[in-house]
């Protein structure tokens, strides 16, 4: 049994033991939650809120950027999940979607954009080029993956990934935000 003392509702003086009106100090946190009362830490609340209002940086590099735009358009509509506020300035964004091939010429700009974003910030690598260099990995001008330049939180495979996959990737980031204790995503595959 969980500890049943309740600092928010101290025991009323003069109430007999076992009185139904005294149930408030017998409720577990789960029972309280079912009555609309939540207990949480500020950190958890913050992460919960962030998960619902990620502001991605509007930053397209190559083919995957077009699928990223498709994801925000009518059919797939990423705004359903609260990710629609694409910011043009890195100063206002907190998620960087690396959508496409990072080339050696573009690398300094990508680094600069990442450093210009305020903390806390996350990076999603969209497509095989951003994951590992993809089909261009042995080229003289291509950086082999976004994680050689910036720390990456979520990888979305595909060349380019379908919009559904991009939405799934964003939801994975949300799950990571809400459950930082999880080391990696484990799925039920039947």
Partner 1 sequence: MNTETNKQGRYSEVYQLNFGPQHPSTHGVLHMLVEMDGETCIGVDTKIGYLHRGMEKLLESRTYLQGLPYTDRLDYLAGVNNNLPYVLAVEKLLGVEVPARASLLRMLTCEIMRLASYMVGVGIYIMDLGAVSGVFYPFQEREYALDCMSALCGARMTQSYIRYGGVQADINEEFDVAYQKLVAETPRFIEMYHKLVDENEIFLRRTKGIGVISAEDAMDYALTGPNLRASGVDYDLRRDAPYCLYDRFKIEVPVLTAGDCYARYVQRMLEVEKIFQLIKEIYAALKEEPAGEIMAKIPKVLKPAAGEAYAQTENPKGIMGCLVASEGKLNPLRVHFRRPSFDNIAIFEKIMPGHKVADLVSIIASFDIVLGEIDG
Partner 2 sequence: MLNKQEVAAMVQQKFRLMVEPLPDTDCEYKVDLMTLVPLCRELKAGGYAFLADITAVDYLEQGYFRLLYQVCNYQNGDTITLKVDVSREEPVVESVCPVWAAANWLEREVYDMFGIVFKNHPRLERILLWEGFEGWPLRKDYVHQPNKYQGRRQLD
Dihedral sign for Cα atoms in the order 52, 184, 96, 72: negative
Strands of the 56-57 sheet, one edge to the other = 56-57, 95-99, 122-126, 154-156
Cα 53 to Cα 62, 75, 77, 128, distances in angstroms: 25, 20, 14, 26
Cβ closest to partner 2, residue 150 vs residue 170: 150
Binding residue (CB under 8 A) for partner 1 from 24, 162, 176, 178:
162
Cβ closest to partner 2, residue 69 vs residue 144: 144
Range list of H helices, 55-137:
63-72, 107-116, 127-132
Cβ closest to partner 2, residue 97 vs residue 146: 146
Residues numbered 45 to 84 that lie near partner 1 (CB under 8 A) are 58-63, 65-67, 69-70, 73-75
Cβ closest to partner 2, residue 144 vs residue 171: 144
Q: How many CB atoms lie within 10 A of CB 59?
A: 21
99 forms bridges with which residues in the sheet? 60, 126
Residues numbered 102 to 161 that lie near partner 2 (CB under 8 A) are 104-105, 107, 132-133, 137-138, 140-144, 148-149
In the complex, least distance from residue 148 CB atom to partner 2, rounded to whole angstroms: 5
In the complex, least distance from residue 108 CB atom to partner 2, rounded to whole angstroms: 10
96 forms bridges with which residues in the sheet? 57, 123
In the complex, least distance from residue 41 CB atom to partner 2, rounded to whole angstroms: 39
Binding residues (CB under 8 A) for partner 2: these are: 104-105, 107, 132-133, 137-138, 140-144, 148-149
């Amino acid at each position: 049994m969980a500890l049943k003392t309740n600092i928010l509702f101290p025991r009323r003086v003069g109430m007999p033991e076992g009185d139904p009106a005294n149930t408030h100090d017998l409720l577990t946190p789960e029972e309280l939650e079912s009555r609309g009362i939540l207990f949480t830490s500020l950190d958890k609340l913050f992460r919960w809120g962030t998960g619902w209002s990620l502001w991605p940086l509007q930053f397209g590099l190559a083919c995957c950027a077009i699928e990223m735009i498709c994801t925000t358009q009518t059919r797939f509509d990423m705004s359903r999940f609260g990710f629609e506020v694409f910011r043009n300035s890195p100063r206002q964004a907190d998620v960087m979607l690396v959508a496409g091939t990072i080339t050696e010429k573009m690398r300094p700009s990508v680094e600069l954009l990442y450093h210009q974003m305020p903390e806390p910030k996350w990076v999603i690598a969209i497509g095989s080029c951003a994951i590992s260099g993809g089909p261009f990995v042995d080229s003289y001008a291509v950086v082999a993956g976004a994680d050689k330049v910036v720390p990456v939180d979520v990888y979305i495979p595909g060349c380019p990934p379908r919009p559904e996959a991009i939405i799934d990737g964003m939801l994975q980031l949300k799950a990571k935000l809400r459950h930082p204790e999880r080391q990696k995503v484990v799925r039920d595959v039947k």
